[in-house]
Amino acid sequence: MHVEVRGLNKKFGSFQAVQDVNFSIDKGQLIGLLGPSGGGKTSILRMLAGLETVDSGDILFHGNRVNDLPPQERGIGFVFQNYALFKHMTVADNIAFGLEVKKWSKAKIKERVAELVELTGLSGFERRLPHQLSGGQRQRVAFARALAPEPQLLLLDEPFAAIDAKIRHELRSWLRDMIDRLGITSIFVTHDQDEAIEVADEIMIINKGRLEQKGSPWEIYKDPQSPFVAGFIGESTIVDNVSSLRGFETASSWPGTKALIRPEYVEIGQPSEFPILSATAKGRVRHIHFRGSEWLVEVEVGSSKLVTYRSLEKQVLHPGDEVQVLIHRAYLFNDSDSWIMENK
């Protein structure tokens, strides 16, 4: 289903929870709503579902305005963080629930439940009660139940938040496979950037009620439109005093300019390792963190602390070492503009 939202606003009392949000989503896409707690992600999802009223703006499904349709007439499925399964009902009955409400025939319900049990890998568990299942299995039941009435839009609110890290990882790729197979338009809320990057076709960054940026994970990583987005996705250092960075002094003539620097654009070494004319700055190693597959090195340059990676071969640097720092590229932002600068 094609989804479009125009000028969406929502206030709770005098608090503006969602502010002038606009977006459209193509059929079959998996979209991640990502942002800090309290940003308005759940409120947007609940308005799409019809569980929350809209103050102003339009929600269009297939080009038709659905603002005034009750949830059960919107053709959506909803999966919540805490499973929300019926405790005293078996897996099969949980999945069948929405179909009984819709007065499907007994035979059709049986057929559909069998299909979903198969699809979600729950064969053999049909007669179990929710407390006899693992967290991951329960969430698959919740998913099957949401899909049972053949919705055209699936909304998932922090679907993996209550599940431990290892299973969460498996469930993410499971969800990705499911959505690809079913081709159902899906929107999930998360505050976990890795989850959004790994699973979503496109991410919408939501902060303080506003949509800050929408794009593929790669677009958002490589071309952030605001310091907030740049800081929220991926690792980075924000440098307030740009004039302290050799090679970027010209940018300091713009008042209030901040630079954001990703670890992969920072190179450190001994002075002799860099060409004499290249714009490097003196730095000092502050901390070195072992991260399993690499070292994360924190280097102090003037009043800034930059981070960069080092491969695992051996630990050649130590805290206190003097190093030369070369910054290849930085994202520069001021109040009115943002641009990328290369150190040539």
Q: Which stretch binds ligand ATP (CB under 6 A): 34-42, 108-116, 257-265, 281-289?
A: 34-42
> According to CB under 6 A, which one of 42, 213, 236, 304 is a site residue for ligand ATP?
42
- Does residue 120 touch ligand ATP according to CB under 6 A? no
Tokens of 275: 């060409």
> According to CB under 6 A, which one of 191, 214, 258, 262 is a site residue for ligand ATP?
191
Q: Which stretch binds ligand ATP (CB under 6 A): 41-49, 58-66, 224-232, 249-257?
A: 41-49
Task: Give me the helices (H) in the chain, please.
Answer: 41-49, 91-101, 106-119, 135-147, 165-182, 193-199, 217-222, 227-232
- Residue 168: φ, ψ to 5°: -60, -40
- Does residue 159 touch ligand ATP according to CB under 6 A? no
DSSP state letters, 245-295: STT-GGGGGSTT-EEEE-GGGEEEE-GGGS-TTS-EEEEEEEEEEE-SSSE
- Does residue 39 touch ligand ATP according to CB under 6 A? yes
| Nearby residues of 172 by Cβ (< 8 Å), 6 or more positions away | 160, 195, 198, 199
Tokens of 68: 């005034």
- Does residue 40 touch ligand ATP according to CB under 6 A? yes
> According to CB under 6 A, which one of 3, 8, 32, 43 is a site residue for ligand ATP?
43
- Does residue 50 touch ligand ATP according to CB under 6 A? no
Residue 178 CB, nearest approach to ligand ATP (Å):
23
- Does residue 86 touch ligand ATP according to CB under 6 A? no
The residue ranges that bind ligand ATP (CB under 6 A) are 12, 17, 35, 37-43, 189, 191
